Structure 1
Amino acid sequence: MKKVLYCFVALVLLVIAGVGTLINYLAPETESERMVDQSTVRQLDSGEVIGFTSNDVSTWLGIPYAASPVGELRWKAPRPAKRWQNQKQALHFGEPCMQRSSGHEVIGNEDCLFINIWSPSGADGKSPQGLPVMFWIHGGGNSTGQAGISLYDGSYISQKHNLVIVSINYRVGPFGWFYHSALQAEGVSPEDASGNFGTLDIIQALKWVNRNIAQFGGNPNNVTVYGESAGGFNTLSMMASPLAKGLFHRAISQSGGLDIHSVERAENYKDAAEPGHIFSSKEVVNLALIQRGLAADREAAKRHQDGMNADELEKFMRSLNAKEIIDLYSSTEGSMLGSPALFGDGYVLPAGRNGAEMFTDADNYNAVPIILGSNRDETKTMMAFSDDSVDRTFGYPTGFNNLPRYNRKSYYSSALWKIFGVDDLANTMTAAQGYNVYAYRFDVDDLRDLGFLDFRDLFGAAHALEIPFVFGNFSKFLRVLLPDSMQSEFDKVSDQMMSYWAEFAYSGSPGKGRASELADWKPWSKEHPSALRLMVFDTESDAGTRMVSDQLSIEDLQQRLLADTTFKSEAVYCAVYNRLFTGADYFAPENLKAAQYDCSQYPPNEGWVLID
């Protein structure tokens, strides 16, 4: 099962790599001149801030929640923000963390740990209880992304449902997750030694919220952590980390899952007895030694690295500037660096458990009410820009040479995402913590038809397309993907999602939404096959938003593939089979009885570039 999970995560990372291409036009908007509003002055534990007000929402952007993680603080757990003396104007987003853009340039700054807040005007902390807080974690494969884009503007849902919305930057890529024994000198704290610096950034931001959010009208005892893609993974990591206990009270994972790398995979050479990742810390140091001219090739770099003591290695690694470090990952796809993230160090994150097995005992994780969801066509986000079924001109999709093959690949890979990101987790958590687990699938696919290319075929209900519905921010999506003629229906689905999300933040159950007028969203059920357990979000032009009984297991998916007679060749069929299933059990004769082809002799397939 763990091998299947690794295949799933590899697939997820490939899909996420396409997100930057799909929404690269969602860069931070040019900010208009903003005027400070004296009613937004707030006294924090690190100093005084002032924000601005627009459309009955007060906003504060770019507040430091931790000390700048530069110099000696690179590759260390975040420290508390330093106090400032004068009033700080919080009118603009802070810089993104260091990363590669979709155009392959290195952007951002190591000084990037900022928090943003939207709160209904007049919510000033004087209320004895305060408003629910929703704490957004952006996606981007844990190697790219930022909070400061228009898509994540929290003002609309804040005003509409009387919520305090928070978003954060956190360190990504090798600045966020980097585990090397040379950084673990005697006396180093368990947090500094963990390598999970991005995870610790999120925990530090939650601690900041706990101390300060009442000043913005928020209730520190009612915090919902939510995020999409890598943000969904990181949301689940908050449930897994003992250090986040008590800092949040509900969770929403949109297109998430959980994959915890071992420290051996994070550090070891790729040809070690227990192999490391191709971009493990030791392999990256090898690349740096070659880049600096201290070794001619990988074998020479290994010898050189093994001959250095811990002090020499640490000094060498810290001598690299941020751009040099990111450039070491230049062979990866798109803006994703492909570096491992989330390490089972045994302190920040548990060791020896992964995926759903992390949540088998509610006493061993932060069990809170949770919503788990996926999009019906998750993997089309990546496939649109990489699959050989799609014709491309100058890198952009222009049509299909085999649409049935394209849809078939998307079905199987997206179903795998739902299994590991929703159904398996929902079944396990329901058994562990009871009936406060909820699940959804996003099916909205009413996209623009360009004539030569129908976006409904190309993307469908693809990865990340639910985000504008959750925030109510459609402006830039409308110009490219969503037809104007469907806007009223999109608005209705968006209103439904925001209402359910808000009610969940208030009560821990999405129920019938904030106004108690929507379909009753029932908890996940693992006992009864016909029970209504999954909320489907869709437009009325299709089947509408409704509860269904759908659930899927890896065994179900295997049986569907075994019975699939649409493949034209054994090679393609077995490439798909081996991509979805690894391990001897899946190739046992009794498990292959219904297969039209014998795949037991084919090597595992590493990708989805198939010829049919």
Structure 2
Amino acid sequence: MTRWRFAQGVAALAAVLLLVALWAGAPEAPEAPIEALPIADVVSERLTTLGSVVGLAGSGDSHAWLGIPFAAPPAGELRWRPPRRPEPWTDTFDALAYGSPCVQLASGFGGVSDQDPGSFAGDEDCLYLNIWSPRFDAAEVPTGDDRMPVMVWIHGGGNTIGYAGSFYEGSLLATRHRVVVVSVNYRLGALGWLAHPALLAGAEEGEPKSGNFGTLDLIAALGWVGENIEFFGGDPDSVTIFGESAGGKNVLSLLASPMAAGLFHRAIVQSGAVDTVSLASAVNYTDEEPPGDSFSAKEVVLRLLIRDGSASDRASARFFAEGLEDSEIAAYLRRKTAEEILSAYRDEPDSADIRPPRVIRDGVVLPHRRLLDLFAEPGAFRGVPIILGSNRDEIKLFLSQDPAWVSRSLGVVTRVRDGARYNFVSGMHSDLWKVWGVDEPAAALSRSQEAGVYAYRFDWDEEPVRMGTDLGMLLGAAHGLEIPFVFGHFRFGDEATAKLIFDEADEPGRRFISDAMMSYWAEFAYAGTPGRGRSGGLPEWSAWGSDVGQFLVFDTAADGGIRMSTDTLSTQGLLARLEGDTNLDQTEKCELYRDLFEGSADWNQATYSGLGDRGCPPESLNTARSD
């Protein structure tokens, strides 16, 4: 299992549950009724710096403003350019519906789910945000010290799928804890991260010469929040950014970016990561020095030239490309349809996935140094209070689709083949996720910044058994499962999917965990420390120490409840666990070591060669340190 597949994130869960539903004979969701057009609530009208907007009455006692443009459409000549300020409007803008998702391949659960998986979806005109707040008449909007903390959500999806849609509806979080919730779209895939020199050469004066367009979109959205959120009752000097999976990775990138400094004041990272890519790896040919990635900007141009018949093979494509001026390459790329661009990133022509991009350390949006190294140095970045967390069974989301680990009947998931091996391997992968995404960055940050560092692990795993399929075993506390707990609703995509994964028996426990997470998240947005939650009645969430790491566990009372733990992890500890395991034979141990560490900074050839009883063979390996 390669590390880049992990980044596909929560999109995979819908497929698993659909297969279970089909096998179990679960009833299909009823055909959706025709929805009435949304009606504007006149008392929600607000005057922004770009013009007047009107929203609608949201769930509960809330107002919602949906689909507000925070940047000009990045299409045509604005494709692969930093986001530009949108044109102001004179009439009142009806903020009544979500904006279009950014260009992506359709997928379930957080992505574009109303099309066939893998089909082209979304639009380049997609830079919109949504706002939820407690309901106030226009004359009653809080001002001054009464303004509310702001929580800006960044969706996940491997930076290739997902959008700020109804899955992340923020009305309950806003009304229960008196905060303003914002969710934002940003460019995805190659339209969001592509650093071809020909594109950067065309940057206009004053524009950052960076291929991190998706990151720049997020910075622009935070700039819009800083200018306008007070008109909705929010405090621009109390902004918390939070995100999951790739959204969490983007939160960490914003923490490291000098261009984002001062635009937010607290950060929450849910199942994130610190991996980025060097400029050389993102740009160069694979046979250049230093070598580029197989999906680097220059390599993708060669793919496009071969696909459209301009060249017959890689050698002729490179000869052709190197004979073009920068302006000609840029024009060639902008003439391509978005679908053609995305298709160049498929491993296989009919694949439903594309290779996810990584944020680029270009010395402009991000420093050239790796994030973990940066976070370890005092003064190298602008530190803010931060929460980092992961889910205990992150990787079960991905193993649950692998026929090597689950049995199928008529192509449908039925049960785990070998529970002990499944739990061991998923535990190794999930714990390594915690090491890389929580424990190591928490340790570095706690030593380098004065602001508090807090950590958690999400353990809820009380899914039901459906016709012999134990979802608690299959998925457990899987990747992405904490999201509905944070937003306070349990609408996992469509109604049928939600009914599969949650039932009445587990409702008291999950409501307890959800209420606690919302309370801690809101208290952190208010105070910069989660403390005992907004209610003051929860267990004290203590900071990660500079000498001793500790984190909060989220679980029901039946499994130990909400509690602090010092059970921190390290790569050395995981290696010792692998060495001592009796579930795997020697070949399987070697395969697991490769799956865990190949291509990473933690790869050790000597450890691999001496692993287990007789070591591992020197097979063809990609052991170069991931940059």
Q: 1:99-498 alignment to 2 at 5 Å?
A: 99-102=104-107, 103-122=117-136, 125-129=141-145, 130-149=147-166, 151-185=167-201, 188-189=204-205, 191-331=207-347, 335-351=352-368, 353-393=369-409, 396-434=412-450, 436-476=452-492, 478-498=498-518
TM-score w.r.t. length of structure 1: 0.92
Q: How many residues align?
A: 592
Deviations 1:556-581 (A, max 9, x none): 1112212223212x221111122323
Deviations 1:126-182 (A, max 9, x none): 421310000000000001100013x20000111100010000010000110011011
1:434 partner letter: E
TM-score w.r.t. length of structure 2: 0.89
1:489 partner letter: G
Distance 2:229 2:263 in 1: 12
Distance 1:470 1:339 in 2: 26
Q: CA deviation at 1:387?
A: 4.8
Within the alignment, does 1:549 sit opposite 2:566 as a pair?
yes
Q: 1:586 aligns with which of 601, 604, 624?
A: 604
Q: 2:91 aligns with which of 83, 86, 96?
A: 86
1:609 matched residue in structure 2:
none
Does the 8 Å contact 2:102/2:188 carry over to 1? yes
Distance 1:145 1:180 in 2: 25
Q: Secondary structure at the match of 2:292?
A: coil
2:583 matched residue in structure 1:
566
Distance 1:277 1:440 in 2: 34
Q: CA deviation at 1:269?
A: 1.8
Within the alignment, does 1:516 sit opposite 2:536 as a pair?
yes
Q: Secondary structure at the match of 2:235?
A: strand
Distance 1:502 1:357, change over 3 A: same
Deviates more, 1:327-336 or 1:411-420: 327-336
1:51 matched residue in structure 2:
55
Q: 2:77 aligns with which of 66, 72, 75?
A: 72
Deviates more, 1:416-425 or 1:451-460: 451-460
Distance 1:153 1:585, change over 3 A: closer
Distance 1:78 1:378 in 2: 34
Distance 1:218 1:83, change over 3 A: same
Distance 1:141 1:584 in 2: 22
1:134 partner letter: M
Distance 1:576 1:33 in 2: 53
- Report % sequence identity: 42
Distance 1:585 1:171 in 2: 32
1:338 partner letter: R
Give the unaligned 5+ runs of structure 1: 1-6, 607-612
1:3 matched residue in structure 2:
none
Q: Secondary structure at the match of 1:226?
A: strand
Q: 1:499 aligns with which of 515, 519, 536?
A: 519
Q: 1:537 aligns with which of 551, 554, 557?
A: 554
Q: CA deviation at 1:539?
A: 1.4
Distance 1:30 1:500 in 2: 38
Distance 1:22 1:350 in 2: 39
2:46 matched residue in structure 1:
42
Distance 1:363 1:19, change over 3 A: farther
Q: Secondary structure at the match of 1:475?
A: coil
For the aligned residue pairs, the C-alpha RMSD in angstroms reads 2.5
Distance 2:458 2:435 in 1: 15
Q: Secondary structure at the match of 1:434?
A: coil
Does the 8 Å contact 1:448/1:481 carry over to 2? yes
Distance 1:345 1:519 in 2: 42
Distance 1:22 1:218, change over 3 A: farther
Distance 1:603 1:288, change over 3 A: closer
1:18 matched residue in structure 2:
12
Deviates more, 1:591-600 or 1:371-380: 591-600
Q: Secondary structure at the match of 2:529?
A: coil
Distance 2:467 2:122 in 1: 38
Q: CA deviation at 1:272?
A: 2.6
Distance 1:393 1:188 in 2: 58
Distance 1:205 1:452, change over 3 A: same
Distance 1:216 1:435, change over 3 A: closer
Does the 8 Å contact 1:232/1:252 carry over to 2? yes
Q: CA deviation at 1:597?
A: 3.5
Q: Secondary structure at the match of 1:349?
A: coil
Q: CA deviation at 1:293?
A: 1.1
Deviations 1:435-491 (A, max 9, x none): 600000000000010132111111010000000000011134541211211101110
Deviates more, 1:128-137 or 1:386-395: 386-395
Distance 2:11 2:287 in 1: 26
Give the unaligned 5+ runs of structure 2: 19-27, 108-116
Distance 1:30 1:280, change over 3 A: farther
Distance 1:174 1:385 in 2: 26
Deviations 1:198-241 (A, max 9, x none): 00000000000000000000000000000000000000111000
Distance 1:385 1:9 in 2: 16
Distance 2:9 2:94 in 1: 38
Deviations 1:76-108 (A, max 9, x none): 000011111111110000000000012111011
Deviates more, 1:519-528 or 1:117-126: 117-126
Distance 1:12 1:236, change over 3 A: same
1:4 matched residue in structure 2:
none
Distance 1:594 1:315 in 2: 52
Q: Secondary structure at the match of 1:517?
A: coil
Distance 1:204 1:599 in 2: 49
Distance 1:327 1:87 in 2: 39
